[in-house]
Structure 1
Amino acid sequence: MKNLKRIEKRIAHFQDFGNELPKAKVYYRLDWEILYFDLYGKMFGLMTQEVSESATITLKGLPEKNEELRELYSNITPGYHTNKKHWNTINLATTQLSDVEIENMIRLSYQLVVKNLPVKDRKKVEVYLS
């Protein structure tokens, strides 16, 4: 029960954290039945909304770092329903990773998407990042 409360808090916290990033929005995407982390129509994360021991967040990362993280942490696996090279899925029940470490992963995923935005959209975001 205690762990489910922790997972519930994490889901709410990471949703709020994603919404605080410049020009980003996190919303429930009905067609995929998932919380969708969006930046100008580009996905930078997916997170289950249901509170359970199997709740996850999927984030973009650097391919070489993704491999390293999977080897270090049993609760990080190749991205679920995403490109396994570029995305990792993290079980939110993990005690191996702190909220701050997962926030840093969300921020990196966001920054990787920013880098690939069209120039006009990237400039709108970079104003907030500098």
Structure 2
Amino acid sequence: MENSVMQKRIETFKAFGETLKGAKVYFREDWEVLYFDLQGKMFGMMSDQASEDAIITLKNLPEKNEELREIYAGTVIPGYYTNKNHWNSIKLASEELSDEAIKQLIETSYQLVYQKLTKKLKAAIEE
């Protein structure tokens, strides 16, 4: 995949993450990644520059992560620098997963983190 196409993909996922209620997506300098944040909790991180190594790391249920790794071997790998049971990294250079499929995975990751928030934090999002 061309770098310009991949950079557009990165921008698409960043913009999508920002549409989720209460979510912020910003460059986290200490990790040098785009950080998907919900009330101080990470629900994803992504390379900010297009390259062959660019990835997005998202949370999912352990059994779903295993399934995705089997179906998309080589494209979906155990989460980079995260708990390998709960997080997967997806290579953005691969076209095996569509933008819509990745947006769905971003949404799933967001929902899993949202469910773990306290009532107080959830109420702050709903205001």
TM-score by length of 1: 0.93
Aligned to 1:105: 105
Aligned to 1:38: 37
How many residue pairs align between the two structures?
126
Aligned equivalents of 1:123, 1:78: Cα separation in 2: 33
Moved more, 4-13 or 98-107: 4-13
Aligned to 1:63: 62
Deviation at 1:16, TM superposition (A): 0.5
Aligned equivalents of 2:117, 2:58: Cα separation in 1: 17
Aligned to 2:52: 53
Aligned equivalents of 1:123, 1:62: Cα separation in 2: 25
- 1:12 matched to 2:11: yes
Deviation at 1:123, TM superposition (A): 2.9
Give unpaired runs (5+ residues) of structure 1.
none
Give unpaired runs (5+ residues) of structure 2.
none
Aligned equivalents of 1:62, 1:20: Cα separation in 2: 23
Identity %, equivalent residues = 54
Deviation at 1:83, TM superposition (A): 0.3
* Paired amino acid for 2:13: F
Q: Pairwise CA RMSD of aligned residues?
A: 1.2
TM-score by length of 2: 0.95
Aligned to 1:96: 96
